[in-house]
Structure 1
Amino acid sequence: MLHPQTAFFLAGLLYIALPLTAWSILRRRHDGRTVTLWCLGGGAFGIGTALIGMRGIAPEWLSLPVANLLIFGSYALRSASLRRELGLSEGYRVSGVAWVLMSALYMALLIWVPLDAPRVVLSSVANTAGGLTLAWLAWRLFRIKAYRSAAMLSVAYSVFALSMLVRGVVSAVHWQQLVIFSSGPEFVFAFLAALIAALYGNLGYIGIALESAREVELARAMELSREQEKREQVELHSRELSALLDERTQLLAHREEMLGVMAHEVRQPLNNASAALQSAAAVLARAQDGQEARLRLNRANTVLMQVSASIDNVLTDAVLLDGGEAMVRQETDIDTLLALVVADISPDSRARVRIERLAAARTADMNASLMRLALRNLIVNALVYSPPDAEVIVRVSDSDSPLGLNIDVIDRGPGFEPAVLDKLFTRGTRGTRALQPGGHGLGLHIVKRVMHMHGGSAQLVQNQPGEAVVMRLVLPQTEA
């Protein structure tokens, strides 16, 4: 059977070995000062216990006063470690005063009282108080941070404190017959409780440290995640600002281009119109050929109408790109719209335009100015690309899907070459089969944009050169 004194010594070695194990596991994973305090406290308790187990072998000053002073001080170190885990001050003042009082009282009993019982009772009281302090701090850690390891540590030291209390009571009752290294039930209980505290107390502390380290890592990861999110937001904002700047730069460049186009489109035709009007004025002044004067005036009027159409296209394109205001729609008489569109065409070409009215509706919801411009662009385009004597048909019919109107512009011109079909409605696209020079590829681009603003579409539905080239505007309508 294991001798009680040997058991004391082995328990001390266990208390030394387990803190060293905890140190090797935690020294780079947790706060160094906190781990050091815990391991120093556990080591001091182990050395003190081992020295008590060596009583009779080691000098008495080592196995009695030094051993108990180390044991008393171990609680101050371990409680300081748990207080740091709680985020509190280390509390050296209170624990230091308690250590000094206990040590002084123990030394006084050692010097003046020859019996072992008073010192055993005092030592049991000190161990009970120390064990309860560690159990209480560990329980607070469990309640505050929900560390399950802290609950295990609290239970282990509560059992240890209870065993020390029992040993102290038994020692006080059996004052005269006390044997320090006895094999009685209270000693066995104390020995087993010390083993439990050594094993589960250190395991509990390792668990606390690992849980705390994990909490710190999670907090750090969350902070990094927040920093990353902020960085991404800043980068996104920067990209948005860069995109906005690019858009504004492109818009300004486009405006400059439009001004250049307007200058070109307006200056030369106005010069031509001025020359035609001067020529007509000279003819009228001679008053010899009224027919020739009318021809020259018609030519000047045609040029001026071309200038007006070009200005409309350029300005409308700029307004559509700006997109600052919502489009205004209202009920518009379809026949009136068609009459205005035909009136916008050069007098020499109006006779070539034939209206086919197949729709039952008399009015439609639209922006009349924009629809007038889009339809005029299609008709003028058809006239330009058709032979001089070819007819252009404007057919208005009902649309079932979507519910609304179909407006077809049909000509028998050369149609569109395959190379431009994919970019037919893109700004700057112009076919090579026009029978008249000029133009900057704005007409169909504006048609597409106008119909998109109406929620409809512009599409080439038939492209048979010389037979039928059909451009269709689909204008959706909502049911009343």
Structure 2
Amino acid sequence: MTVYHIPTVYLILGVLYLILPLTVWALLFNQPSRASALWCSGGVLFGVALTLVGLRAHLPAWLTYTLANGLMWSGVLIQALALRRALNLSLGLKRAAALILVCVAGFEFFRVVLHDAILRFSWSTLIFTALFAYISYLSWRIARVDRLRSARWLSVVYAVTAITMMVRTKLVLSGLTEPDVVASGVDSVLTVVTGLLISILGNFAFVGMFLERSTQAAMKATAARARQEETARLGEQIAQLERQRTLGTMSASFAHELSQPLTAILMDAQAIKASVAAGDSNTAEILESIEEIESSTYRTVKLVERIRNFIRPAETDYAYVDFKPLLQDVAHLLAYEIRKQKVRFEFDLDPAECGVHGDRVQLSQIVLNVYRNSMQAMETSAQKMIFVSLEHMEDRVVLRVRDTGPGVPADLKSLVGQPFVTSKEGGLGVGFSISSAIAEMHSGSLTISNAVDGGAIVELSLPAAER
């Protein structure tokens, strides 16, 4: 005769099953998920059912047999659904509810209609065997997919429990033991031990599994963030090189632009020198020459400042940027090329404020690339016009640049914006892709299409900002 009072042990197990799910919930409180909520709910149902079994001598049979078994099957099945959720599989709640109803109906058929305790008990233990085996299988899948040691332990615990239930079913069917979970005997003690096993090891293995998954997710997020930062850093370097390459191709333009004010300064200085050497004290003429020198110097300084601001390899500096003067400043950088190619710009700027929050250098790079692409597209066009419109539309600032060139070739329409795709001879094909990336960094978009009246139209849309 066993020294354990089995009903009391079931009461203790019931209380343990009520406490442990709450412990699991507390441990995973900072990482709430539907899977953990399902697991804890299933554990609580199982604990209530075990408490009813422990009180079998004091409660009606429908409570301690029918309801208790239904709650236990539901609890285990809900925990299986928790693992399905962890695997991102559909829960199938309707099928689960139908399965429980079938299990309860079969149990009642053997208990009430046939009055066959052996078949009733065997039916119940076979259901438990199948459910525990299913949890073991799902845990094994999680362990294989996510490489979680805790999931492997969970799989082993439930596999052992399923085997124990199968052995007890065989013993009952063979007539070697009584068909009653609260009966005294070695097999009952074995069942209680496996119950303790899944209550303690099972719950803590589940906690370990979720903590492992959260650690893995944190490590992956950190690695992804590091890759993004590295990509952004490389992107900035590529953008910087593209700006330098652009300025390299414009060096002749800048040399011409600088030569004009510098030549004027030289001529005015020589005129002043000649006047002084000849003893001519015409103060008005000398002051006029000095003013011209001052004006030419100012033009030179402004041009050098524009070049420096465009190419400077500084950190990204986000601030309020007024788009109207930016459009004009970039056009000034291209002044020589505009005159040389006889391109005419027409600006249609919204009188409302058109400011954005961003990096002025990067935004200037977008506009410069768009202007130059439009000008290069019109090299063989009879009419060379670039229409620039800027509009404040609700919470967006929209820039549209339309040229009178041939438009985007049909074979490149689907590829525009991809790196190293270009229709220009000797071009790298990175200008538009870099500009598009900069626009996205500013929560905006850059698109290109063919205009209805001919030519290409580029649209830059950015979130509007206030000073």
Determine whether 1:260 maps to 2:264.
yes
String of CA shifts for 1:107-157, please: whole Å, max 9, x gaps. Answer: 222221334322211111011011000000001111111110000000000
Cα distance in 1 for partners of 2:81, 2:179 equals 34
- In structure 1, the gaps of 5 or more residues are 272-480
User: CA contact under 8 A between 1:72 and 1:103: conserved in structure 2?
Assistant: no
Q: Which moved more, 1:181-190 or 1:147-156?
A: 181-190
- The residue correspondences of 1:9-408 to structure 2 (distance < 5 A) are 9-31=11-33, 33-174=34-175, 178-233=179-234, 254-256=258-260, 258-260=262-264, 263=267
What TM-score comes out, normalization by structure 2 length? 0.52
The residue matched to 1:197 in structure 2 has which SS? helix
Cα distance in 2 for partners of 1:64, 1:102 equals 13
The residue matched to 1:89 in structure 2 has which SS? coil
Cα distance in 1 for partners of 2:172, 2:54 equals 18
Cα distance in 2 for partners of 1:209, 1:118 equals 39
Give the superposition deviation at 1:21.
0.5
Amino acid at match of 2:18: I
Q: Which moved more, 1:49-58 or 1:109-118?
A: 109-118
Cα distance in 1 for partners of 2:43, 2:255 equals 76
Q: Aligned residues, how many?
A: 277
String of CA shifts for 1:183-236, please: whole Å, max 9, x gaps. Answer: 322222211111111111111110111122223323333343344445545655
String of CA shifts for 1:303-340, please: whole Å, max 9, x gaps. Answer: xxxxxxxxxxxxxxxxxxxxxxxxxxxxxxxxxxxxxx
String of CA shifts for 1:72-113, please: whole Å, max 9, x gaps. Answer: 111221111101111211133443332221111012222213
Give the superposition deviation at 1:11.
1.4
Cα distance in 2 for partners of 1:233, 1:212 equals 31
Give the superposition deviation at 1:238.
6.5
The residue matched to 1:45 in structure 2 has which SS? helix
In structure 2, relative to structure 1, the CA distance for the partners of 1:251 and 1:20 (3 Å cut) is farther
The residue matched to 1:88 in structure 2 has which SS? coil
Cα distance in 1 for partners of 2:130, 2:108 equals 19
Cα distance in 2 for partners of 1:251, 1:243 equals 15
String of CA shifts for 1:31-69, please: whole Å, max 9, x gaps. Answer: 2x1111011111111111121111012332221111100
In structure 2, relative to structure 1, the CA distance for the partners of 1:263 and 1:244 (3 Å cut) is farther
* CA RMSD in angstroms, aligned pairs only: 3.9
User: CA contact under 8 A between 2:121 and 2:180: conserved in structure 1?
Assistant: no
In structure 2, relative to structure 1, the CA distance for the partners of 1:180 and 1:163 (3 Å cut) is same
String of CA shifts for 1:265-284, please: whole Å, max 9, x gaps. Answer: 8879999xxxxxxxxxxxxx
Cα distance in 1 for partners of 2:194, 2:178 equals 24
Amino acid at match of 1:6: T
Q: Which moved more, 1:55-64 or 1:153-162?
A: 55-64
2:5 to 3, 6, 19: 3
Amino acid at match of 1:9: L
In structure 2, relative to structure 1, the CA distance for the partners of 1:27 and 1:252 (3 Å cut) is farther
Q: Hey, what does 1:435 align to over in structure 2? A: none
Cα distance in 1 for partners of 2:177, 2:109 equals 19
Cα distance in 1 for partners of 2:157, 2:178 equals 30
User: CA contact under 8 A between 2:177 and 2:187: conserved in structure 1?
Assistant: no
The percent of aligned pairs where both chains have the same amino acid is 25
Give the superposition deviation at 1:2.
2.4
Give the superposition deviation at 1:251.
6.0
Q: Hey, what does 1:370 align to over in structure 2? A: none
Amino acid at match of 1:259: T
The residue matched to 1:55 in structure 2 has which SS? coil
In structure 2, relative to structure 1, the CA distance for the partners of 1:252 and 1:81 (3 Å cut) is farther
What TM-score comes out, normalization by structure 1 length? 0.51
User: CA contact under 8 A between 1:117 and 1:175: conserved in structure 2?
Assistant: no
Cα distance in 2 for partners of 1:266, 1:233 equals 50
User: CA contact under 8 A between 2:56 and 2:64: conserved in structure 1?
Assistant: yes
Cα distance in 1 for partners of 2:6, 2:119 equals 20
Cα distance in 2 for partners of 1:177, 1:61 equals 20
User: CA contact under 8 A between 1:163 and 1:186: conserved in structure 2?
Assistant: no
User: CA contact under 8 A between 2:121 and 2:179: conserved in structure 1?
Assistant: no
User: CA contact under 8 A between 1:152 and 1:204: conserved in structure 2?
Assistant: yes
The residue matched to 1:181 in structure 2 has which SS? coil
Amino acid at match of 2:147: A
Amino acid at match of 1:104: A
- In structure 2, the gaps of 5 or more residues are 276-467
User: CA contact under 8 A between 2:171 and 2:177: conserved in structure 1?
Assistant: no
The residue matched to 1:130 in structure 2 has which SS? helix
In structure 2, relative to structure 1, the CA distance for the partners of 1:18 and 1:176 (3 Å cut) is closer
Cα distance in 2 for partners of 1:115, 1:180 equals 15
Give the superposition deviation at 1:176.
8.9
Cα distance in 2 for partners of 1:90, 1:99 equals 14
Give the superposition deviation at 1:8.
1.5
Cα distance in 2 for partners of 1:265, 1:49 equals 105
